[in-house]
A and B are shown apart, each in its own frame.
Chain A
């Protein structure tokens, strides 16, 4: 029973609901505040969009409360801004304050509220468009015609007090055109348009934006017709352009004319001819070979002061006054002991920068080249194949000479000795040349081969060439030393050569020759004395030094030197000579070398010879380090 009643009531209620629904009545839908705007930062308006009204008259109310307050207010003005809006006048507007605004929709059936909207007037400023847009065509006499656009800020905005700062933008287009041409005008309320097409009607609009807000809507269009005679083109511009282009063309033509050749060479560079870097052909023509060589870069040739020091050390003053020692440093008097026939035009006669002291000075008896001695070296030389190389004068190429020299000197037997004069430098070559010539003059002619050799040397010497290398070293650095001892060896050779006991003073020995080894015959194998500074002590030319007699044990009589092997020399073999061979011919025991074979005549000369350095094993080293 009760159940029946309950179910009946429910049924009736449902009927009522259905009836209502069928009538289309329902509580209002949720409204939505979609826009709030302030035109001048002093008032603002909010607009809402109503939801479904539920078929019944719906009442909308807007309520709000401000940040920092607890009261809830209702919209002061629903009318001013149109339907579904709320206008907040100046009194009700606070800047820098958040408004929390809600719209309520109420109808018979119910009500609904919108979501609260948080509004800060500061950031919703959107002014009205500017007003009073005027267009005027100005055509002053001396200037170009233009369109002058003027406007005024929107009425509500207070620009004068600085409450709002407006910036403007205009746009215009010919009536029929599709795209607008927009120009930013800044804070000014006027604008000039210069480029217009005559004979068309132009439409112009302007809008504005506050310093921190939104752009306003575009103002209504203003139009103005442009008369047909509105001349926009400026002839002067075209004249200027024409003149400028003509000038540019002229400049280009002139540039091409002047630089045409260089441009062509730039594009098609000429094939360079052969040229030796640093080689001045003119010098060659003039015959200034030393300049030429200096240009080529052999500066240190002949050796410089250190060599002189070396020579100074080397130099032993003889006790007799008759022997005149040529100071090593007397470059200026190279020709002291040189015969006047010395045709060396250089102040540095043949000695090069390093004047080797002439042990056999003028005061000494003229050394006579011992023909036998000449023979020996020559024989020795002949014994070795490389000798042949020596005898072949090479061409002007220094390199070839150099190539030959090593074999010449070092040849396995190191027999060479002789001239070590290679024409290392002009000076040296000359010196060697001269010394050799001197020696020859002293009677070395018996040594045919030697003389030939000498000749060859001479010829070689004549040829400007780079340093010659002995012992196979081809290093430029050693040229100096080689040259130095070339000069020395020359001297030594000169000394060794004399047929008589007089030193080859005339020969003015300029190179020091070191005794390299002694052959069976007692011939001395001479080597160019190496540079004192460099290697005094350590260079040994031959590894198998056992055969070297390089140490003077004593002097016998007045002209006999007793040579012994120098054990020390055995261990020193810094140089690798290309054709080194153990000279088997050297006797193993001290051999007394006939001093007569030495160009040592006077005791003083001998002294010089007996000088530690001369025959020091280390001295008899490879000329090169």
Chain B
């Protein structure tokens, strides 16, 4: 849809702008948030959440586009969706499945859930990039997005850890995350099996990125705006 695309592009630009700001802040450059010369630059929680939401929104947009591209190009008529049932590695992490459940979860728990999901995707994203590169006629639309998602996922993880440090300081959390074991499937010689493995991975990525985006927006409105966005 044109409207969707144009609004996505607009939000994408905004995201990139703010992401670059996020990066600059990391390098202790002078930023409006961190006054220059401040030793302990404490970014406000509001800004942390704003940036995290922007990142998560961006990552889900990329995942969605990547999945659609793959589906259109490789998965037509193969009925992959019928097989991609209950096949995401992060399903072992119990996460709220609707709004009521999410609202009942304490924000610290929700934050750790988000972190768990994010950490679970570090490894798969890395291998996704490697394997997409190795695909015959590796489509640039998919590869470039995969690379970008991997990059932004790391940033989001760092941002989330900062948020946790501010919201929930001092508590050492257990780093719980799901182990991904789908690499052999991605490297199968059989094209059908391999393509399904990619499809499944992209499908799960799209879902989990949406999940993280939703949780973060809930948390932002709850913590920063006091449930009055």
Contact = CB atoms under 8 A, between A and B. Distances in A.
Interface of A: 41-42, 67-68, 90, 93-98, 100, 116, 118, 120, 122, 158-163, 165, 167, 169, 184, 209, 211-212, 214-215
Given A169-B3, A212-B213, A160 B221 contact: yes
A17 B84 CA distance: 44
B229 A161 contact: yes
B85 A161 contact: no
Contact of A118 (B64, B81, B219): B81
A94 B3 CA distance: 28
A161 B98 contact: no
Given A90-B100, A95-B98, A163-B218, A211 B213 contact: yes
Contacts of B218: 161-163
B51 interface: no
A363 B100 CA distance: 127
A90 B97 CA distance: 11
Nearest to B102: A163
A69 to B, nearest CB: 9
B57 A97 contact: no
Interface string B196-229: 0000000000010011011001111110010111
A93 B101 CA distance: 12
B130 interface: no
Nearest to A40: B99
B40 interface: no
A118 B229 CA distance: 33
A98 to B, nearest CB: 6
Contacts of A67: 85-86
Contacts of B84: 98
B82 interface: yes
Nearest to A121: B98
B1 interface: yes
B207 A96 contact: yes
A165 B11 CA distance: 13
16 contacts: A41-B99, A95-B99, A96-B97, A97-B97, A98-B84, A122-B207, A160-B227, A160-B228, A160-B229, A161-B99, A162-B219, A162-B221, A163-B214, A163-B218, A169-B3, A209-B4
B20 interface: no
Contact of B7 (A42, A68, A100, A184): A184
Contacts of A122: 207, 210
Closest 8 CB pairs of A and B: A162-B221, A162-B217, A94-B97, A68-B86, A162-B229, A118-B81, A162-B218, A67-B85
Contact of A162 (B4, B98, B222): B222
A95 B213 CA distance: 13
Contacts of B217: 162-163, 165, 211
Interface string B41-74: 0000000000000000100110010000000000
Interface string B71-98: 0000000000110111000010001011
Contacts of A165: 217, 229
Given A163-B214, A163-B217, 5 more contacts: A42-B98, A158-B99, A160-B228, A161-B103, A161-B229
Contacts of B86: 67-68
Interface of B is mostly: helix
A493 B86 CA distance: 115
A83 to B, nearest CB: 27
A100 B84 CA distance: 12
B158 to A, nearest CB: 22
Contacts of B210: 96, 122, 212
Contacts of B225: 162
Which of A98, A161, A165, A214: most chain B CB closer than 10 A? A161
B1 A214 contact: yes
Nearest to A41: B99
B220 to A, nearest CB: 6
A15 to B, nearest CB: 43
A556 B218 CA distance: 125
A44 to B, nearest CB: 11
A162 B225 CA distance: 10
Contacts of A162: 217-222, 225, 227, 229
A98 B7 contact: no
Contacts of B1: 214-215
Given A41-B99, A96-B207, A118-B82, A212 B64 contact: yes
A209 to B, nearest CB: 7
A97 B97 CA distance: 8
Given A68-B91, A160-B228, A120 B207 contact: yes
A90 B98 CA distance: 8
B211 A167 contact: no
A209 B5 CA distance: 12
Given A96-B210, A98-B85, A159-B229, A209 B7 contact: yes
Contacts of A94: 97-98
Nearest to A215: B3
Contacts of A42: 98-99
B64 A161 contact: no
A163 B99 contact: yes
Contacts of A211: 57, 213, 217
A215 B82 CA distance: 28
A503 B24 CA distance: 91
A167 B7 contact: yes
Which of A95, A98, A215: most chain B CB closer than 10 A? A95
B229 to A, nearest CB: 5
A163 B225 CA distance: 13
Contacts of A163: 99, 214, 217-218
A548 B64 CA distance: 100
Contacts of A96: 95, 97, 207, 210-211
Given A94-B97, A122-B207, A161 B221 contact: yes
A158 B225 CA distance: 14
A502 B46 CA distance: 111
A68 B222 CA distance: 31
A35 B112 CA distance: 36
A161 B64 CA distance: 24
Nearest to B103: A161
Contacts of B207: 96, 120, 122
